[in-house]
Structure formats: structure tokens, C-alpha cells
Amino acid sequence: MKKVKLSTFHFRICLFNPNGYSLLELLLVLMLLVMGGLLVLPAIESGLKERNLRRSALEIAAVARDLHHRAIYQSALQRLVVDPYENAYAVGQGKKVFLAPDVQIVGIDGGEPVGNGSTQFVFYPNGSSLGGEITISGSRGSAYFIRMEPLLGKVVVIRGK
């Protein structure tokens, strides 16, 4: 009868093994990748929220600028209606556009109050407007101010804290 020798496995921790990487080395690299991902994900999430806030401010400003130009070229009053309670805005009596859930309308200065807490900003055919300011804020406390100049109807977006 012949004896069969069972081979034994030797696990070596060696960085320069000619046979390849050991399982321990691969697991170590995988753990480092996971830990790096856990550090980076919160920064990406906060950047996306800040981007939503900026995009919302630029959308409102673009609508206000468009209404300013429409009032001049069509020789007719144009209205931007802002509803802070529903967190939305609309052009005249048109369909409401709702802001992102993490973006809130926190203040309105100027404009003309209309029913149910809404405020309208009127743009006149001569290029002027009622003027005022809309303040929107994000969940992290940063804010944007959309300012409409009364005499020239110019719309400016200002980033605040």
C-alpha cells in the first residue's frame, strides 16, 4: 500500500509574490475602496443638493427674464405668480411649476399680493416691473436671491448664506 501525502497550503503575506496577489491583499484593497467611497458619498450628496438650489434659482430668473422680454415684444403685461405655501411659481394663470423638495421659497419682498398668500410680479410693456426679491433656501442653509429691478426690469441672481 502506498501512502499519499496530502499537500498543505501555506498562506504567506508577501507583497511581491510571483504567483499573484494573495486573498488577504485583495481584501485589503477592497476594504480601502469601500472606506474611500464612504468618505466621498456625503460630499457628492451635498453637492447635488446645492446644485438643485442653484438650478431652481436660475430657472426662476430665466422665467422672469423671459417675461420681461415678452412684455416688451408683445406689448402686453406679463405676470410671474409665486406661491411660497405650495413652493411653486406660475406664469400668469398657467400651470404651476413646483420646486425640488429640498428647495424652499423662504421670502418674498415687493411684488403685488394676490389671493391665498401668493405674490405676483408684473412686467410692463415699457420694460419696467413692479420689482422685488424672491429668496429661496436649501436644506443646508445656503440661499439665493432673485432680484427684479423695478425701473429697468433687470433680473439678477445673488448667492447668499
**40 assigned to some structural domain:** no
**76 assigned to some structural domain:** yes
Interval 73-102: pLDDT, tens: 999 999 999 999 999 999 988 899 999 888
**35 assigned to some structural domain:** no
Domain count, the chain: 1
CB-based contact 78:71 (threshold 8 Å): yes
How high is the pLDDT of residue 4? 58
| DSSP codes of every residue in 88-115 | EEEETTS--EEPPTTEEEEEEEESEE-G
Other C-beta atoms lying within 10 Å of the C-beta of residue 104:
18
CA-to-CA dists, residue 150 to 66, 87, 108, 142, angstroms: 16, 24, 15, 26
**130 assigned to some structural domain:** yes
Expressed as residue numbers, the domain containing 84 is 49-160
How high is the pLDDT of residue 18? 64
**121 assigned to some structural domain:** yes
Least confident of 25-29, 37-41, 76-80: 37-41
- Residue 119 phi, psi dihedral angles, 5° rounding: -130, 140
pTM, two decimal places: 0.72
Give the C-alpha separation, 87 to 89, whole Å: 7
The average confidence (pLDDT) of the chain is: 85
**34 assigned to some structural domain:** no
Spatial CA neighbour of 88 closest among 110, 117, 112: 117
**111 assigned to some structural domain:** yes
Spatial CA neighbour of 82 closest among 51, 52, 109: 109
Give the residue-averaged pLDDT of 50-57: 89
**116 assigned to some structural domain:** yes
Give the residue-averaged pLDDT of 40-51: 74
Q: How confident is the model at residue 15 (pLDDT cuts 50, 70, 90)?
A: low
CATH number at residue 114: 3.55.40.10
Interval 109-159: pLDDT, tens: 998 999 888 999 999 999 999 889 999 998 878 899 999 999 888 999 999
CB-based contact 136:108 (threshold 8 Å): no
Q: How confident is the model at residue 106 (pLDDT cuts 50, 70, 90)?
A: very high
How high is the pLDDT of residue 26? 86
